[in-house]
A and B are shown apart, each in its own frame.
Chain A
Amino acid sequence: MTTAKTGRNTSTPLRIGFIPLADATALIVAVDKGFAAEEGLDVELVREVSWSNVRDRLNIGQFDAAHLLAPVAIASSLGLGHVRVPILAPFNLGLNGNAITVTNALHQALKSEADGDITDPKVSAAALARVVAARKRAGLQPLTFGMTFPYSTHNYQLRFWMASGGVDPDEDIRLVVLPPPFMVESIANGHVDAFCVGAPWNSVAVDLGIAHILHFVSEILQRAAEKVLAVRSDWASKNPEVLMRLIRAHGRAAEFVEAIDNREEVCRILSAPNRIGVTAEVIRRTLDGRLKVAPDGTFRSSDRYLLVGRKGAARPDPVQAAWLYAQMVRWGQAPMSDELLKTSLAVFRPDLYDEVLGPPAPRAPGEPADGVGAFVGPAFSANDIVAHLAPWSIRRSQS
């Protein structure tokens, strides 16, 4: 294939893995809207069923790149829970985008224990602590919360929120991994009382009338790196030029996604059965940040529900890598060391992003100064994780 833009007369075949979730939008649009082809990339998108598969296929070279949980990119580079394979993230596919959804019964219980507006995470976390204490007194089983993976933003967002209210996520709650497609079924049949997952699963549960969306995760942290475009570090050094083209295609896709006039087309592309495979309308709610949060039809809106290209979301931010590493330390998944922190920071590569897409815009007005914007606690500092974690009494001892 010859492209007018590049003059190349061959196209480079690439296999890229993804999980059908709304935060794969930039990747899917880069391919299906032809931005990748215009860069001379012949991309085969492979839909996967588990993060373990995506990680392993990327690690052993069956995928050239992947839509990957940001903490998995870091865990893989650190060799946590798995063989060490250095990964690079030159493009951030999304910030935020998850929600915490609870059964109608738990929502009712939280509301009756709430000292104020339950949509405030400080209030809801304190209410959760009271519900947990009441269950303990009554000799009931602990509440079960579902999340998607041990190294997932969902895991850390849930833990951060509940611990702030005095709930120990390992002692007071059963926190279990559930594949996203099983979340709704699990809440319907009573196997879990709540879950934290990305779109579209929260909306599906609310639409069925069996649950309430309690929080958008952007209410807990204003900015949290959710999924990244991940490549193996050795692949990147062997294919620097291909990587540049891949980043450019993603930059154009993210820009296209954020233009409101394109939204209908984007939702149609994403709704295809071999992509995300849910109705365009449900995807639209996610991209618009306007979600039905209760079976009675109450909606809640946020301009930061899922950030794909706006507010500087696509540029990898090493502060995010540091925050994720800090959570791994807090919850006993990783020991604290300057070496590991350095390795984590180096996974996120804004330099590669800037090389292709230009220097970063100044921080948008209203964006948190520390790059994270947690709803509680001191500002985050990547330079002193030990001091940052010190005030939190609920934490695991370092492994």
Chain B
Amino acid sequence: MSNPTSDAPLKILVIDENPIRRAILEAGLRDGGFENITLLGNTTGLLDRIYSVDPDVIIIDLQNPSRDVLEQMFQVSRIVRRPIAMFVDQSDRDTIAAAMEAGVSAYIVDGLKQERVRAILDMTISRFGVFDRLRSELEETKSALKERKVIEKAKGILMKSRGLDEEAAYGLLRKTAMSKGRRIADVAESLVSTFDLLRD
């Protein structure tokens, strides 16, 4: 067992079901000079596994119901050999609020100096932010791709039913969108669904 009050490298356990976020967090922690990192994606038998890893710091995402399992470690119990206290005290509400906003919580071994943990928590909060940005970019890309597909389909319908070429079909969609004050993708969507309705 490492001595949490010495300068020995901290053992960090990351519990996160999302493999991408797990990887982003691990990379961030390694960049920050933390080498002793264990990643857990599956929380089956969590207490036993924490037991064998014997971490100084545990990081868990808030969407994980197993956070409640960690709370059991505060209890006087023969399953637990080492009490782990949550990284919360009256003076640190801002950091905790920031972590909860970012969607993450951290637990530390009792007696570990908060300065040593702050860098880890700050890193975690920023990496969770990075993941959120990546995810919303991905969602934007996905919906842009979907819109492009709908526009293609609407163009095809117009080309076939009105005998237009591709450019003219797109022009018609754009003109309609402008005159109705709607987005081209929305006009295309209405056209495709109306077309499906008439065809069925």
B-binding residues in A (CB < 8 A):
49-53, 56-57, 60-62, 81-83, 148-150, 170-171, 174-182, 191, 332-333, 396, 399
Q: A50-B66, A56-B96 are in contact. List 10 more A-B contacts (CB 8 A).
A: A49-B67, A50-B68, A57-B100, A60-B93, A62-B97, A81-B71, A174-B79, A177-B72, A182-B65, A332-B76
What range describes how many residues of B lie at the interface? 20 to 34
B3 interface residue (CB < 8 Å to A): no
Q: Which of B28-65 contact A (CB under 8 A)?
A: 44-45, 47, 62-65
Chain A residues contacting B105 (CB-CB under 8 Å) are: 52-53, 56
CB distance from B98 to the nearest CB of A (A): 10
CB distance from A100 to the nearest CB of B (A): 19
Q: A50-B68, A52-B105 are in contact. Are A170 and B88 (CB under 8 A)?
A: no
B74–A49 CB distance below 8 A: no
CB distance from A83 to the nearest CB of B (A): 5
CB distance from B18 to the nearest CB of A (A): 14
B90 interface residue (CB < 8 Å to A): yes
B68–A333 CB distance below 8 A: no
Q: Which of A56, A83, A182 contacts B90 (CB 8 A)?
A: A83
Chain A residues contacting B76 (CB-CB under 8 Å) are: 332-333, 396, 399
B65–A56 CB distance below 8 A: no
B71–A149 CB distance below 8 A: yes
Cα-based distance from A333 to B89 in the complex (angstroms):
19
B75 interface residue (CB < 8 Å to A): yes
Cα-based distance from A51 to B71 in the complex (angstroms):
10
Cα-based distance from A52 to B79 in the complex (angstroms):
20
B68–A177 CB distance below 8 A: yes
Cα-based distance from A176 to B80 in the complex (angstroms):
11
B97–A60 CB distance below 8 A: yes
Q: A81-B71, A150-B75, A332-B76 are in contact. Are A49 and B63 (CB under 8 A)?
A: yes
Chain B residues contacting A181 (CB-CB under 8 Å) are: 65
Question: Of B45, B75, B77, B93, which is in contact with the most chain A CB atoms at under 10 Å from its CB?
Answer: B75
B164 interface residue (CB < 8 Å to A): no
Could you give 11 example pairs across A and B, Cβ below 8 Å? A56-B88, A57-B100, A83-B88, A148-B68, A175-B77, A176-B69, A177-B71, A179-B65, A182-B66, A332-B76, A333-B76
Q: Which of B65, B78, B88, B96 contacts A50 (CB 8 A)?
A: B65
Cα-based distance from A366 to B75 in the complex (angstroms):
37
Q: A50-B64, A150-B71 are in contact. Are A170 and B96 (CB under 8 A)?
A: no
A81–B96 CB distance below 8 A: no
B86 interface residue (CB < 8 Å to A): yes
Q: Which of A52, A174, A175, A399 contacts B71 (CB 8 A)?
A: A52
